[in-house]
Amino acid sequence: MSHVHVDRKVLQAGAAYRNLLVSSTGLVPDEPTVVTTGCGIQVPYALTSVRPESVTCLACREHAAREHLAYADQVRRLGRMTGSVISADEADQAADRARDIARKFAN
Ligand SMILES: [Zn+2]
């Protein structure tokens, strides 16, 4: 059985990012046919997932956990910058969500 991987750019592969792109640009991004995975191979897009419960490749799970933790730190810092587009509260909520997802991938 083939493993299910994550897209290397796991944070940009999710529905939330796609919706943001659609609402801000009006463009619907094409789903790529082949993507580079978190473990460094190329697989059909259909063999990747952004849902922690669906990803079976261990290296990809670790990659996704790392990416979400790094994002959590980034967004937290962003919320504390003067003139930031998001408030510290919003940033903390986004960081908490990202850490939650990281935990699920790390399990
Ligand atoms: Zn993988």
User: What residues pack around ion ligand 1 (CB closer than 5 A)?
Assistant: 5, 37, 39, 57, 60
* pLDDT tens track, the chain, 107 positions: 689 999 999 887 666 666 766 777 787 777 778 999 999 999 998 999 989 999 999 999 999 999 999 999 999 998 998 888 888 999 999 999 999 999 999 98
Cα(17)–Cα(49) distance, rounded to whole angstroms? 14
**Under 8 Å between Cβ of 105 and 39:** no
Tell how far the Cα of 68 is from the centroid of ligand 1, in angstroms: 16
**Under 8 Å between Cβ of 45 and 35:** yes
Which domain, by its residues, includes 53?
Answer: 10-106
Q: Establish if 3 belongs to a structural domain.
A: no
The DSSP bridge partners found for residue 5 are 48
- The pTM assigned to this predicted structure is 0.81
Q: Establish if 76 belongs to a structural domain.
A: yes
Tell how far the Cα of 81 is from the centroid of ligand 1, in angstroms: 35
Tell how far the Cα of 5 is from the centroid of ligand 1, in angstroms: 4
Q: In the chain, how many domains are there?
A: 1
